[in-house]
Amino acid sequence: MSSDESKRGITILVTGAGGYIGSHACLALLEAGYNVIALDNMVNCWKDDRLPEPESLIRVQILAGRQLKFYHGELLCKPSLEKIFEDIIQEHKKIDVCMHFAALKAVGESCAKPLEYYKNNITGTMNLIELLEKFGCKSLVYSSSATVYGDPSNLPISESELTGVGLTNPYGKTKYMTEEILKDLCNAVQDWGVISLRYFNPVGAHVSGLIGEDPNGIPNNLVPFVAQVAAGKLPKLKVFGGDYPTKDGTGVRDYIHITDLITGHIKALEFILKDFKGFKAYNLGTGKGFSVLDVIRAFREASGKDIPYEIVDRRPGDIAASYCDASLADRELGWVASRDIHDMCQDVWRWQSRNINGFKKEINPNCILHSPKKLELLLSSLTKTELRKLDRQHHLEILDAIDQQKVQEGFDKLRRLQEVVKASGQLGAADSPAAQDVGLPFCGCER
Ligand SMILES: CC(=O)N[C@H]1[C@@H](OP(=O)(O)OP(=O)(O)OC[C@H]2O[C@@H](n3ccc(=O)[nH]c3=O)[C@H](O)[C@@H]2O)O[C@H](CO)[C@@H](O)[C@@H]1O
């Protein structure tokens, strides 16, 4: 039995699966061969009304060439959550490990709506843990944050640094409090195993450019903001503070590529599956600090676009510098980040420039692929060689083009196309539009 086959028997429940980090995790899990149960309340991810799943997860399944099981569910509604658990157990017999990403995460909003944040992030997690325990799963990978260190007294920050001191916002406090709850749980109940991963600054996108971070409204975080300035969606970046005691006066952070971050989750999962019990926290970062001006430079290079900026007052609650000592994860999980700031900016730019409105697509009715008749013609005229040239983006455009009644049929067709292309071993190898190869106009919407 291959290792992929052995993982088919292992079921991972992913909460917050449709979001930025959750969707990348689902992809990596599917690619590694695990069964994936994806749960999301869809508050923070875009969904086409015609389709049952968030767009991010549709793309994940196309990229992986495998399906996951999606549930639209709310951690705060325990009775309906319990029904979902019953359904999962009926189908898969057990949940082996839960990866818990579902949470509200906007720092500013958490100051305005603290109760909403405490309720969602803490009560939601408690409901989840109680049901996991009830249904026989006592293994959890928790999505924590460097924010638990507050304004640290030592750099680089190691896991032995005090947590919970000097936290300036309810969001950060929910991450700290949840870690404390999980520690107490592991102390009290011997067979719980929890790994808490403290993210530094996750950025980047999957190398395909098909999934990435899709913030609601104006981004709060630096890299998505810079990406939208480069794309011409926002006029200029405000650099919060030019007088920090750092190399150029701007804030320094440890940016980590989402793909490396997710590899860290897979390592943590493997560690838990080797029968880890107790509570353990690991930093996930590169260990290197980059200033805001460094990021602007790297993004200019990756995109070839100008990034106008002005230096303004510091943002309340910000710290001068944060970067980690990631050696514990290296020693104990065998994990190190391998992608640099240029990879991060290049991948963000690929995602941003191909998906100007994130997952939400504006369909151009004149596009060949948006006319079911012409689409039919296109599909029937493609030879196997031409099919090989269909890259994943075209699969998605075909999916978009199918009209309401034909969604399922279109999806099936996509899967068949994918099987043929996959069998040829060249999925995504070429960037040339198949429609052009067969002499049909191709609009390249959203590319
Ligand atoms: C105070 C705050 O919001 N902290 C959150 C922020 O961290 P953090 O502040 O580290 O991350 P950001 O991406 O928001 O900011 C990174 C750096 O860019 C600067 N910057 C940011 C945006 C901008 O428009 N202009 C600008 O100059 C910031 O001052 C900082 O120096 O996001 C993390 C998630 O990734 C959260 O876990 C942190 O709790």
Per-residue confidence in pLDDT tens, the chain, 447 aa: 555 667 778 999 999 999 999 999 999 999 999 999 999 999 989 987 767 889 999 889 888 888 999 999 999 999 999 999 999 999 988 999 999 999 999 999 999 999 999 999 999 999 999 999 999 999 999 999 999 999 999 999 999 999 999 998 999 999 999 999 999 999 999 899 999 999 999 999 999 899 999 998 999 999 999 999 999 999 999 999 999 999 999 999 999 999 999 999 999 999 999 999 999 999 999 999 999 999 999 999 999 999 999 999 999 999 999 999 999 999 999 999 999 999 999 999 999 998 888 988 654 444 444 455 555 555 555 554 555 455 545 555 555 554 433 445 555 655 565 565 555 443 332 232 333 332 333 333 332
Whether residue 273 is found in the same domain as residue 379: no
Whether residue 264 is found in the same domain as residue 397: no
Q: Which residue is closest in CA terms to ligand 1's atom 33?
A: 201
CB of residue 392 inside a 6 A radius of ligand 1 = no
Residue 11 pairs with which residues in a beta bridge?
35
Is the residue at 269 inside a domain?
yes
Is the residue at 292 inside a domain?
no
pLDDT at 415: 59
Whether residue 85 is found in the same domain as residue 150: yes
113-119 contacts at long range (C-beta below 8 A, 24 or more positions apart):
114/170, 117/170, 117/171, 117/174, 118/170, 118/174, 119/76
Whether residue 268 is found in the same domain as residue 379: no
Is the residue at 161 inside a domain?
yes
Whose tokens are 């011997």? That residue is 190
Whose tokens are 């992030």? That residue is 121
CB of residue 291 inside a 6 A radius of ligand 1 = no
Cα-to-centroid distance, 191 and ligand 1 (Å): 37
CB of residue 228 inside a 6 A radius of ligand 1 = no
pTM for the structure as a whole: 0.85
| Alpha-carbon distance values, 295 to 119, 224, 250, 356 (Å) | 35, 11, 11, 20
Whether residue 326 is found in the same domain as residue 384: no
Write the CATH number for 104. 3.40.50.720
Whether residue 77 is found in the same domain as residue 155: yes
Cα-to-centroid distance, 40 and ligand 1 (Å): 25
CB of residue 225 inside a 6 A radius of ligand 1 = yes
Is the residue at 135 inside a domain?
yes
Is the residue at 183 inside a domain?
yes
Helices (H), 274-406: 292-303, 327-333, 341-354, 372-381, 384-388, 392-401
> Residue type at 62?
I
Helices (H), 65-161: 78-92, 107-112, 114-118, 124-134
Is the residue at 443 inside a domain?
no
Q: What are phi and psi of 276, to 5 degrees?
A: -70, 135
> What CA–CA distance (Å, rounded) separates 66 from 63?
8
Residue 411, domain extent: 368-437
Whether residue 50 is found in the same domain as residue 134: yes
> Residue type at 203?
V
Atom of ligand 1 nearest to the CA of 250: 31
Q: By three-state DSSP, how is residue 237 classified?
A: strand
Q: Which residue is closest in CA terms to ligand 1's atom 1?
A: 318
Whether residue 128 is found in the same domain as residue 172: yes
Whether residue 187 is found in the same domain as residue 334: yes
Whether residue 378 is found in the same domain as residue 422: yes
Cα-to-centroid distance, 222 and ligand 1 (Å): 6
Q: What's the domain count of the chain?
A: 2
Whether residue 139 is found in the same domain as residue 16: yes
CB of residue 240 inside a 6 A radius of ligand 1 = yes
Whether residue 61 is found in the same domain as residue 189: yes
Report angle CA 221, 227, 228 to the nearest 5 degrees.
90
